[in-house]
């Protein structure tokens, strides 16, 4: 008689499998203690019980267990004599000498199931290494035709692999090793693996691109999903670098690793690096505020919202709060590790949630991600959700790195023979293509499939995807224009004070309107959609129009200021409720009837424009223009533009060097405003980052504001001046009221200012103000463009005054530090020239 008795802290593991003929096979591990309790659990009265047939084809699983019980007992006792069940192999030795089954089961050491369970409770998931072993064992059972074998090696290997160093992640596979099933001698392949930690991976990413080894950076298998940990560790490494070259190499090596191992994840990785979830024209935004993020974080960490808010106030960075809160929280069982695909798809799911309870659903998505996040993952999850990554990675640097990675990973073609520097040329190609098609979903798959050298041929501009608008550089006078455009024919156009727009008309009749930021504005201008459809000529089947939308008084036939246009509703405008009328002033056409015109000269594009539309006053008009190089005529034209409620002139090359250059502030387009003669040459778009309480008549409002420009390379706002003039009482009250809701307890980590500047309050970077000043000067206090013109000093504005609030611009589109440095250098050059002229006189 065989009896199985209960005993303390012992586990009997029984596993069932069924082969293809329907026969059950059972494999279990039995560890016998030195002493038994007296109370039996099961009592078998026969050592060899006969089977009771449950069906015509198979015995019951219980009967199979009974028939093998005595055999298990004998094998178990024999094993106990030969090896201790508590003995553990060294993890390295185990990986070097993998054995699934030996020819003699009695020589196979039996692992302790209780210890195995404890190990599994401590770790999140089974190692893929042990999964292969268990799969092989199940296959051997199914091929044994129902024979029962004792096999605990799979469990032991799982335990062994998990008992290694916690910071090591099993990665690369070397040569396969084989072992045999005990009954059939079935060969089962098992591959030894190399251990690489995330920190070792980051160390490899920091190497020069030429000496980088993908195999030393990837700690996942070929084709497996990219761990989110890999991306955030790279984020962390990038944030600690200040040089653009070092950052470019880290990103390049990171992208090379993805391309070599899991190219399907490259699109998601690139979007996360750009801190986006979709292209701007798709209009897909996360649509969550700090309140929802704080709720999700509090629930994920099992704490109160008040505690999270308190920490947020102290640290000033919700990402750091998340990291601290999650790292201090004990977990009974570690959840499945996050992957890049999981995070990216969840972000897009959050953005698409709408309707009733959408905020609750978004919060739950955030909570699920945070519960699974470890190490520095919570920190960067929060920053990505806030769209405030702030690691010093500019998008242009990302595009350069993508080009470099494509060269190193190129498998489709080699660079053309006339290319001396493949890396530089590849970066140029990627940036140029992105300026025409700013959609990673199209660029990345094409790059992987056709190679970087074929990218311009396979990624073409077409309606429905807005290109980056071409921009003009400022100039101070008519004489400077004539000097710059010597021996080149140029044209002058009115510079309208409205909203830049790109109108796309597709062959199916669909019309889309995009802002200068590629945001979809179709719902804001239904009247423009109607006018443009009505006034295009019948021969026109598709087009892309570059134009300015201007508020217009149709009764007085007069252009209205930009401030009037800004009062229009932004979404879901109903035609019958429109009060502010709009006129379209068209000045360029980029695409016509299936043909892109970007590489055509301006005179050719302008001819296409004039032939494709019928003008109708106050609805659709062509920009007023003249072609002349006569100083007096241009001066008179400038004055006429100002009298017509325009800002000034745009001067463009006409038939030489006159192609359309997307997303570029070109020397082939210059802008001239009436008040440029008396100032620095251009107004600046600056961001209020702090304020000082008003005194006297200004008690109760802010008396002055601290403004900053934006450094695109370092991703930081740099102080440039204090402003307290140019405000009417009503405007000052309006701006103060607007910014009070943006007050934060301490300055952002990405604000650069002198310790001698101590505003009474700090703001979130939300608004953009257009500001004029007398000139630019070197400042020991302010930090704008520090290190560009002077190694230790920045640039400041003298006598700044507010012109208007730019509601059409984001803070990151504020005037850049590079632009301010260029303006200072140009001003210094002009002052020197004027001084020389005075001395000659």
DSSP string for residues in 597-623 = -TTS-HHHHHHHHHHHB--BTTTEEEP
| CA-based R_g, the chain, Å | 35
What does the alpha-carbon distance between residue 689 and residue 708 come to, in Å, rounded to a whole number? 7
DSSP character for 716?
E
536-566 as b/e, with b when 16 or more CB fall inside 10 Å? beeebebbbbbbbbbbbeeeeeebbebebbb
Backbone angles phi, psi at 146, to 5 degrees: 95, 0
- Pairing label, strands 648-653, 665-673: antiparallel
DSSP character for 9?
T
- Pairing label, strands 169-180, 761-763: unpaired
CA quadruple 667, 673, 677, 679: dihedral, nearest 10: -90
What does the alpha-carbon distance between residue 138 and residue 152 come to, in Å, rounded to a whole number? 12
Residue 789 Cα to chain centre, angstroms: 32
Residues with Cβ within 8 Å of 451's Cβ and at least 6 positions away in sequence, in order, are 406, 410, 411, 412, 413
In order of 204, 264, 568, the CA distances from 400 in angstroms are 20, 20, 39
Query: Which stretch of DSSP H or E encloses residue 189?
Result: strand 187-196
Tokens representing residue 612 in the block? 């494709």
Closest CA to 484 of 658, 653, 682, 679: 653
Residue linked to tokens 């309870």: 357
Backbone angles phi, psi at 709, to 5 degrees: -95, 175
What does the alpha-carbon distance between residue 434 and residue 440 come to, in Å, rounded to a whole number? 8
CA angle 543, 523, 494 (to 5 degrees): 55
Closest CA to 237 of 427, 381, 393, 394: 393
What does the alpha-carbon distance between residue 776 and residue 798 come to, in Å, rounded to a whole number? 6
Tell me which long-range contacts 61-68 makes (C-beta under 8 A, separation of at least 24).
61/16, 61/24, 61/26, 64/24, 64/25, 64/26, 64/146, 64/148, 65/14, 65/26, 68/26, 68/148
295: annotated active-site residue: no
Q: How many CB atoms lie within 10 A of CB 444?
A: 21
Tokens representing residue 215 in the block? 């195999």
CB–CB of 269/293 below 8 Å? no
What does the alpha-carbon distance between residue 116 and residue 158 come to, in Å, rounded to a whole number? 8
CB–CB of 548/500 below 8 Å? yes
HSE (side-chain half, CA atoms, 13 Å) at 316 = 12
Residues with Cβ within 8 Å of 43's Cβ and at least 6 positions away in sequence, in order, are 1, 3
Query: DSSP alpha helices (H): ranges in 31-106?
Result: 61-82, 91-96
Tokens representing residue 786 in the block? 């520090």
Closest CA to 219 of 165, 287, 148, 294: 165
What does the alpha-carbon distance between residue 309 and residue 291 come to, in Å, rounded to a whole number? 9
Q: Which of the following is catalytic: 190, 193, 363, 495?
A: 495
Query: Which stretch of DSSP H or E encloses residue 501?
Result: strand 499-505
Q: How many CB atoms lie within 10 A of CB 321?
A: 26
Cite the active site residues: 495
């Amino acid at each position: 008689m065989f009896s199985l008795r209960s005993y303390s802290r012992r586990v009997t593991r029984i596993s069932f499998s069924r082969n293809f003929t329907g026969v059950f096979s059972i494999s279990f591990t039995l560890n016998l203690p030195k002493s038994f309790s007296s109370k039996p659990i099961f009592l078998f009265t026969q050592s060899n019980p006969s089977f009771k047939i449950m069906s015509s084809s198979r015995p019951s699983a219980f009967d199979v267990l009974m028939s093998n019980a005595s055999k298990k007992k004998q094998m178990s006792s024999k094993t106990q004599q030969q090896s201790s069940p508590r003995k553990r192999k060294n993890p390295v030795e185990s990986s070097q000498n993998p054995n699934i089954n030996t020819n003699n089961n009695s020589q196979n050491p039996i692992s302790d199931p209780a210890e195995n369970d404890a190990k599994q409770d401590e770790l999140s998931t089974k190692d893929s290494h042990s999964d292969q072993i268990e799969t092989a064992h199940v296959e051997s059972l199914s091929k044994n035709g129902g024979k029962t074998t004792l096999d605990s090696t799979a469990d032991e290997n799982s335990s062994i692999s998990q008992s290694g160093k916690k910071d090591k992640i099993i990665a690369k596979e070397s040569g396969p090793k084989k072992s045999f099933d005990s009954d059939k001698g079935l060969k089962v392949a098992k591959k030894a693996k190399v251990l690489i930690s995330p920190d070792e991976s980051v160390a490899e990413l920091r190497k020069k691109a030429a000496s980088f080894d993908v195999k030393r950076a990837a700690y996942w298998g070929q084709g497996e999903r990219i761990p989110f940990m890999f991306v955030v560790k790279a984020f962390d490494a990038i944030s600690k670098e200040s040089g653009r070259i070092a950052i470019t190499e880290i990103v390049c090596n990171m992208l090379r690793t993805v391309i070599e191992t899991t190219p399907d994840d490259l699109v998601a990785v690139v979007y996360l690096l750009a801190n986006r979830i979709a292209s701007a024209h798709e209009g897909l935004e996360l649509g969550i505020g700090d309140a929802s993020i704080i709720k999700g974080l509090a629930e994920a960490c099992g704490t109160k919202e008040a505690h999270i808010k308190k920490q947020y106030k102290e640290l000033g960075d919700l990402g750091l709060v998340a990291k601290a809160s999650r790292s201090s929280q004990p977990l009974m069982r570690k959840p499945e590790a996050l992957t890049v695909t999981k995070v990216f798809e969840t972000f897009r799911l959050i953005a698409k949630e709408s309707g009733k309870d959408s905020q609750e659903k978004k919060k739950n998505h955030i909570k699920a991600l945070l519960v699974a996040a470890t190490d520095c993952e919570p920190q960067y999850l929060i920053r990505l959700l806030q769209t405030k990554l702030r690691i010093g990675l500019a998008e242009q640097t990302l595009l350069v790195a993508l080009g470099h990675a494509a060269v190193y990973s190129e498998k489709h073609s080699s660079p053309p023979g006339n290319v001396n520097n493949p890396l530089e040329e590849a970066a140029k190609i990627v940036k140029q293509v992105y300026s025409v098609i700013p959609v990673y979903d199209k660029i990345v798959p094409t790059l992987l499939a056709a190679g970087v050298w074929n990218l311009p041929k396979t990624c073409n501009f077409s309606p429905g995807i807005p290109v980056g608008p071409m921009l003009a550089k400022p100039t101070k006078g008519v004489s400077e224009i004539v000097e710059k455009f010597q021996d080149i024919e140029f044209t002058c156009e009115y510079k309208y004070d409205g909203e830049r727009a790109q109108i796309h008309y597709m062959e199916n009749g669909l019309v889309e309107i995009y802002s200068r930021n590629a945001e979809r504005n179709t719902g804001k201008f239904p009247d423009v959609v109607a006018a443009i459809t009505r006034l295009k000529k019948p021969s026109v089947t598709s087009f892309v129009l570059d134009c300015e939308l201007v508020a217009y008084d149709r009764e007085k036939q007069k252009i209205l200021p930009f401030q009037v246009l800004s009062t229009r509703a932004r979404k879901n405008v109903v035609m019958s409720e429109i009060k502010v009328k709009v006129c379209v002033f068209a000045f360029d056409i980029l695409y016509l009837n299936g043909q892109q015109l970007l590489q055509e000269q301006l005179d050719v594009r302008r001819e296409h424009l004039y032939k494709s539309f019928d003008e109708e006053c106050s609805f659709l008009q062509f920009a007023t223009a003249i072609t002349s190089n006569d100083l007096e005529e241009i001066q008179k034209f400038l004055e006429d533009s100002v009298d017509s409620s325009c800002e000034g002139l745009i001067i463009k090359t006409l038939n030489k060097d006159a192609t359309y250059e997307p997303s570029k502030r070109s020397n082939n387009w210059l802008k001239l405003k009436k008040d440029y003669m008396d100032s620095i040459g251009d107004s600046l778009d600056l961001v209020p980052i702090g304020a000082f309480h008003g005194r006297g008549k200004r008690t109760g409002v802010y008396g002055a504001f601290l403004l900053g420009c934006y450094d695109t390379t370092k991703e930081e706002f740099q102080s440039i001046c204090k402003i307290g003039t140019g405000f009417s009482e009503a405007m000052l009250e309006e701006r103060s009221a607007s910014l009070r809701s943006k007050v934060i307890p301490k300055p952002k980590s990405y604000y650069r200012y002198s310790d001698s500047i101590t505003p009474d309050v700090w703001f979130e970077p939300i608004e953009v103000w257009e500001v004029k000043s007398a000139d630019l000067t070197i400042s020991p206090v302010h930090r704008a463009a520090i290190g560009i013109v002077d190694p230790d000093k920045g640039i400041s504005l003298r006598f700044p005054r507010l012109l208007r609030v730019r509601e059409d611009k984001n803070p990151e589109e504020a005037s850049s530090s590079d632009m301010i440095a260029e303006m200072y250098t140009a001003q210094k050059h002009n002052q020197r020239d004027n001084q020389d002229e005075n001395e000659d006189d």
